[in-house]
Amino acid sequence: MRILTWNAAMAFRSKIEKVVPFMADILVIPECEAPEKWAKSRYVNDLYQFEWFGEDRNKGIGVMTLNDSYQLEVHPSYNEEFRYIIPLKVTGREEFTLLAVWSQRTKGTFQSYIGQIYLALQYNKSLLNAPSLIIGDWNSNKIFDYIKRVGNHTKVVEMLSHYGISSLYHHYFNEEQGEESKPTHYFRKEAASPFHIDFAFGSQTFINRLISVEVGTYEDWIRHSDHLPIFLEIQDI
């Protein structure tokens, strides 16, 4: 199984050719435009399934499959209070829960960003007992724990650990939270302002079968977005 997540900074239909070579089965794309915007894209027929969530047709979160290996279905537990943290039932070669993430500022800053993830995971905690992947733009890192939220990054990592869920990046590169060597975001696209704020967390079954984790480079991707993609390859069952 191959999964890629990338905050594409809008107009993904004109950038999808950048990710096609990865031959991913599933794409999780924050800041993706709605399906009706794809009519003139030469890649529209490459999208086997396209689930999209958002209010602005130019800027929501898209979850796509590029072949028939996996099928997506919005989980009945989806709560629009957490509009951009979407639980999906994945079936096909194997079955698991995928939580697609694009955390954002809300009306109350206390519940923004990692606070939204914390509350959404609390709401969906019954799903975490089954195999799960939680992937996307978290807009979070342990280094921001000092910002007062309903739940900080460390609390979320600890909560997921209780369910046997941990970061595939940190497992693969043997790094600690808050000490990441590979940035996934450059503030205002400036090379001097790197941050690691995009994550892929998975249950132990995915950790055990993890083949590789790849993060894009500044040189290859910065002209397309202020974020870099994370590409995961997991051995099929």
User: Average pLDDT in the 164-191 region?
Assistant: 98
3-state SS class at 228:
coil
Domain residue limits at 117? 2-234
Per DSSP bridges, beta strands 85-92 and 96-102 are antiparallel
Full-model pTM: 0.96
In this structure, what token pair is assigned to residue 100?
């697609």
Query: Which pLDDT tens digit goes with each residue over 224-237?
Result: 999 999 999 999 98
Cα gap 163→12, rounded to integer Å:
34
Number of domains into which the chain is organized: 1
Cα gap 48→71, rounded to integer Å:
9
Residue 234: its pLDDT value, please?
98
User: Average pLDDT in the 46-55 region?
Assistant: 93
CA 180 to chain CA centroid, Å, is 17
Confidence of residue 107 (pLDDT cuts 50, 70, 90): confident
DSSP structural state of residue 18:
G
Would you say residue 83 has pLDDT above 90? Answer: no
What CATH number did the domain enclosing 53 receive?
Answer: 3.60.10.10
Residue 139: its pLDDT value, please?
97
Sign of CA dihedral 230, 5, 175, 131: negative
User: Average pLDDT in the 16-41 region?
Assistant: 94
Q: Across the chain, what does the average pLDDT equal?
A: 96
